[in-house]
Structure 1
Amino acid sequence: MLHTANGHYVEVEENVTLYVEDVGEGKPVVFVHGMPVNHRIYEYQQSVLPQHGIRFIGIDLRGYGRSDHPLNGYTYDRMADDIKAVIDQLNLNDVTLAGFSMGGGVVTRYMGRHRGHKVSKLMLFGAATLSKLPEEAVNGLIVGLQADRPQTLTNMFKGFFHTAPSQGIENWLWHMGMEANVHATIETVKAIGSEDLRSDLEAIRVPTLMLHGVHDQVCPFPAAEQAHEIVSTSKLVRFENSGHAPFYEEREKFNREVIEFVLA
């Protein structure tokens, strides 16, 4: 494992290394991003949570951000294994594990596949748990990524918000999306369309906080309500003025909910 000023490069399997941002001291919260962004999607949490005694640990999944872009390994199983490798190599305990969108699906798989190893609390943000992409949507997205990835990402990010953000925010997201490896992006789209997480949800036993925008068009709110019914230890918080990005659109409320849950 290599260290930088605020991060680590963690080898999760032979010749595959992930970048992990690590800021602050206190209760560790491991944040997992969605497709096609990276850990920097949590910028408005990374700049706030360490001031409240929370250690921010943001993973760039394989194929994304500053992590390696191998040919294989873009299933939820393998990405869940990657998270376990990071948690173990950083010697983390009493972890709050958090996932957004596809990352919510990955951390849900982690809870089932690894029986919640080292995790004492779970957070799901606009999570892709029971809101699988239909086959035609998956195929259409793959065609778009192969034919014109820049425009496809532009269209995708416009659907993130309930209220149109600034051009700067759109540009910021677009650049994150373009930093991702195109093969990794396509393979994870396939995973989102094929993974079944119901049994993983049923395996969750730890306190779970679900934060979800009621206007979410990517992972619709009714799917969050269904997941909430399955996870008996969960609390579902509605974000009335948010689409798929409550961490940005209602970030003060979002951060308050996160801080209260982690420190409780």
Structure 2
Amino acid sequence: MGYFVNVEPGVNLYVEDINPGGNKTIVFIHGWPLSHKQFEYQFNVLPALGYRCIGIDWRGFGNSDKPMSGYTYNRLADDIRTVIGTLQLDNVTLVGHSTGGGIAIRYMSRHNGYGVSKLVLVDAAAPTGFSTETANKLLKETLNDRPKMMQGVTDTFFFQYITSSFSGWFFQMGLQAAGWSTAAIIVLLRDEKLHEDILKISAPTLIIHGIHDKVIPFAQAQELHQKIGNSQLVPFQYSGHGPFWEERDKFNQLLTQFI
């Protein structure tokens, strides 16, 4: 079922809550500039295995409200804290992909991992995000021809072949975001760093990363593994930036084993 959670006056986040009666809870934080729908191929499988799966659209993205402000790691992490508190969640596995991985890391650091027992980082944009050159290029395209920018993101996202139909679905997911929030997150990925945050993570952490990732280099996953004490790194040999789809069977199996 889907519903909205108020995180500050005038700002409501959309939450997709699948199998609320499940034995174990997994909270999914999507990547930029997508929505909870990117995890469709997890939601197809994991609830049937008895898991409660919660997908949260960040402010500015998906079905959530799209305010003009609040696009910092602190605010986005605070939004997640409000959702977890409002739903009275505990002992959850927090899964963050790309920028969602960055939000998850800031959440663990800023809120001392409140309610979270295990962490999964999927091609996380951490400890750094975009280079200044990449960010400025994406920012210019976003503010002048956002569909072109999104097509470029789609074209470089996956290592494996995608059909034109899948490409179109993915493309439209990205355009569901507001232009201003899309641009604001590019600035976040350029300017905010997570070096100090990763040192504060103590929860068991699974790091998944496609070795062919053109968005966030595999070397960054190796750095996370080195600096997060209680962590394991699993390279995905046939994935780019989207192992949740490119090697979805392996991804889903690994997730259930970790939980």
Q: Which residue of the other structure, out of 108, 115, 118, is the alignment partner of 1:118?
A: 115
Please say which of residues 73-82 and 162-171 is displaced more in the overlay.
162-171
Q: Specify which of 230, 235, 247 is matched with residue 250 of structure 1.
A: 247
Matches within 5 A, 1:28-177: 28-177=25-174
Percent identity (aligned): 44
1:186 and 2:183 equivalent? yes
Q: Secondary structure at the match of 2:215?
A: coil
Tell me the CA shift for residue 53 of structure 1: 1.6
Instruction: Report deviation, 1:131.
Output: 3.7
Which residue among 188, 199, 215 is the counterpart of 1:202?
A: 199
Contact 1:27/1:55 (<8 A) preserved: yes
The corresponding residue for 1:17 is 12
Gaps of 5+ in 1: 1-5
Task: Name the TM-score, length of structure 1 as normaliser.
Answer: 0.96
Contact 2:93 2:118 in 1 (8 A): yes
Give how far 1:193 is off.
1.0
SS at match of 1:159: helix
One-letter amino acid matched to 1:159: T
Q: 2-side partners of 1:51 and 1:195: how far apart?
A: 38
Amino acid in structure 2 at the alignment position of 1:11: N
Structure-2 separation of matches of 1:89 and 1:251: 30
**What's the CA shift for 1:194?**
1.2
Letter of the 2:64 counterpart: S
Q: Distance in 1 between matches of 2:140 and 2:204?
A: 39
Q: Is the 8 A contact 2:33 2:61 kept in 1?
A: yes
Deviation readout 1:25-47 (Å, 9 max, x if unpaired): 22111100011100000000011
Q: 204, 226, 230: which one pairs with 2:227?
A: 230
1:136, CA displacement in angstroms?
1.5
Tell me the CA shift for residue 132 of structure 1. Answer: 2.4
Which residue identity is paired with 1:222? A
Q: CA deviation at 1:168?
A: 1.3
- Cα separation, 2, equivalents of 1:188 and 1:134: 13
Q: Of the candidates 216, 222, 228, which is equivalent to residue 219 of structure 1?
A: 216
Please list every run of 5 or more consecutive structure 2 residues that lacks an aligned counterpart in the other structure: none
Letter in 1 for 2:12: T
Query: Matched residues in 2 for 1:158 and 1:87: separation?
Result: 34
CA-CA distance at 1:231 after TM superposition = 0.5
Q: 1:252 & 1:105 partners in 2: Cα distance?
A: 24
Counterparts of 1:232 and 1:53 in 2: how far apart (Å)? 30
Q: Separation in 2 of the partners of 1:161 and 1:81?
A: 30
Picking from 2, 5, 8, the partner of 1:7 is 2
3-state SS in 2 of match to 1:120? strand
Give the letter aligned to residue 55 of structure 1. Answer: R
Alpha-carbon distance between aligned partners in 2 of 1:70 and 1:130, rounded to the nearest angstrom: 26
RMSD: 0.8
Q: TM-score, normalised by structure 2?
A: 0.98
